[in-house]
Structures are given as C-alpha cells and as structure tokens.
Structure 1
Amino acid sequence: MFNRILVVCVGNICRSPMGEYLLRQKLTHRPEITVESAGISALVDKPADSMALTLLEENGVNAGEHRARQATETLLGQADLILAMEEGHLRQLHKMAPQVRGKTFLMGKWIGDREVPDPYKQQRPAFEHAYKLIDQATDAWLKYLDK
C-alpha cells in the first residue's frame, strides 16, 4: 500500500508541483494517501512557476499554497513511493539515499517509461507538453494506487 507519495524534479517549481497537485486531485477519494513533492536542487520556499499554476488552475486545480522544498534522505525515506521526472533524477536519488532504490520510479513508467522534459524558463507550449505527460502518467499510476 502506498500511503505516502513523493513527486520529485529539480527545482520543485514546475513539474513536481504539477504532478503533486494533479495526483492529489485524482486521489481525493483516498484521504489516507498523502502526496507531496520536493526537488533535488530545490528553489526552497519559492512558489510554483506561474505557468504551472496557470495550467493547473485552467484544469480546476489550485496549487497556490505550494512552496518548493529540498529532497532529503529523511524525506525520501518516509515515502512509500517516489516518482521522478527523468532517469537522471532516479540516479541522483539513489546516490542521495541508496535505500530508496526499490521504491523510486519514473512518473512516466506506465506510459512507456517516458521522461517529462523540464519546461523551466520556456514558453507555454513546453509547459503544456509537460502537463499533458504528467496528466497521462498520473492517470496510468491510478490503477496501482487506487486499490
């Protein structure tokens, strides 16, 4: 059973907040599941990127309370499932906390092991592409989380 899910990217202001808040919304009927996010090199205490917030809001998701935080060995250890955006993130997480190797996966695992490219400092189409992949990936994870 996955009761605590951690979504990880680099800065914790674009992709992982989108993943966190989308997954939260899709799991509202499962209040025992906690979904959080963090960054490998987080822009600590920064809000989510304005374009990420806009796309979430356009899809009925409010992430205005988000503040970036750093992934730590303790935080990783507390998670039952860790979802990263890129293969490189998985490698960094395994270096940071080798004991999490068995519970770290790509967010896009169930959509062909797709990585979610970083839209940071890019235009809306890059964010829309990342959002679409995250939306598809979170939908695909639901059959494993919604038991």
Structure 2
Amino acid sequence: MKHILTVCIGNICRSPLAQVLLARDLPGTTVWSAGLGALVGQGADPLSIEVAAAHGLDISAHRAQQVSSFLCQQTELILVMEQSHKSQLEQQFPVVRGKVFTLGHYGKFDIADPYRQPREAFDTAFAAIAQGVADWVPRIHKLS
C-alpha cells in the first residue's frame, strides 16, 4: 500500500496523530491527513503536539488541509475517526466507497474529538488512535 489518508474534522487534533503513527509504523508508505471541515493552514492543536512529543513524535510542522477529491483518489486506504466521517466522505466523494474505514474498525470503536477539551481527552484520543494503528498495521502489511 503506497498511500494512506487519515481524516477527522479540523485536521489539527486526531488525524495528524494518526498520520504520524502510521508513517512511523509503515516506512515506505506515504501517509497524509486532512479534515472534513479543516482549519486550513492552522498548525496542530498545542495539546496534540504535547501528547505526540510525550510519545517521542513530532507534529509541530503539521498544517491542516481540507480533504479533496484529489487526495481521495490518490489513496488506497482512508482511515477516519468516527463512523459519521465515513458516511460524510462517501456522500461527498462516492469514489471512496470500499476504501474508507474507521481507525477503530477492528476494535469496533470511534475516537472522540478532544478539541477544546483538557489534556486528558487528548491522552484518551491518542491511546485510541495508537490502538487503531496497532490493529491496522499488520493488516496493511498483508495487503501490501
């Protein structure tokens, strides 16, 4: 698998964390992130940066971008944070049907948005994202 896209709403909290974790665990794969309602050009949320740094990851250079038809067409797999994101993407870009899944697909969970919440919400989101990545990586290796 050459290209993966992670998607949340603003592209400043959850999807940048998923992006950096997937990129770390899947060398040779290009991982992008985008938002359904992206805060275009904005950096990652300071608490996401802090949580990433606590786990040895750097997302300080991240800039939010809007999900686009181009990004969707370039990727073999799109991982979203919530079931509602999957529905919205499939409605907006019908071409993505069949390659959009929640990051928590295998564990049957959504990843709640920590935006404008305390650090604990970001830690909880990170733990869920890390679990989703751990569930997906061996499956992605098998598909590659």
Q: Where has structure 1 moved over 4 Å in runs of 4 or more? A: none
| Structure 1 unaligned residues grouped into runs of 5+ | none
The alignment partner of 2:98 has SS state of helix
Q: Distance in 1 between matches of 2:99 and 2:32?
A: 15
**Normalising by the residue count of structure 2, what TM-score does the alignment of the two structures yield?**
0.96
Q: Is 2:100 aligned against 1:104? A: yes
Write out per-residue CA displacement over residues 118-144 of structure 1, whole angstroms, 9 at most, x where no aligned residue: 000000111111000000110110111
Task: Give the C-alpha shift of residue 146 in structure 1.
Answer: 2.3
**Normalising by the residue count of structure 1, what TM-score does the alignment of the two structures yield?**
0.94
Task: Give the C-alpha shift of residue 44 in structure 1.
Answer: 0.2
Write out per-residue CA displacement over residues 99-123 of structure 1, whole angstroms, 9 at most, x where no aligned residue: 1110000011121x21000000000
Q: Distance in 2 between matches of 1:54 and 1:86?
A: 23
Q: Which residue of 2 aligns with 1:40?
A: 36
The alignment partner of 1:5 has SS state of strand
For residues 1-147 of structure 1, what are the structure 2 equivalents within 5 Å?
A: 2-27=1-26, 30-31=27-28, 33-111=29-107, 113-147=108-142
Task: Give the C-alpha shift of residue 95 in structure 1.
Answer: 1.1
Q: Distance in 1 between matches of 2:141 and 2:62?
A: 24
Q: Give the number of aligned pairs.
A: 142
Q: Distance in 2 between matches of 1:70 and 1:99?
A: 17
Write out per-residue CA displacement over residues 76-103 of structure 1, whole angstroms, 9 at most, x where no aligned residue: 1111100000111001100111111100
Q: Distance in 2 between matches of 1:77 and 1:53?
A: 29
Query: What percentage of residue pairs aligned between the two structures are identical?
Result: 41
| Structure 2 unaligned residues grouped into runs of 5+ | none
Q: Distance in 1 between matches of 2:52 and 2:140?
A: 21
Q: Distance in 2 between matches of 1:132 and 1:79?
A: 25
Q: Counterpart amino acid of 1:41?
A: G
Q: Distance in 2 between matches of 1:142 and 1:19?
A: 12
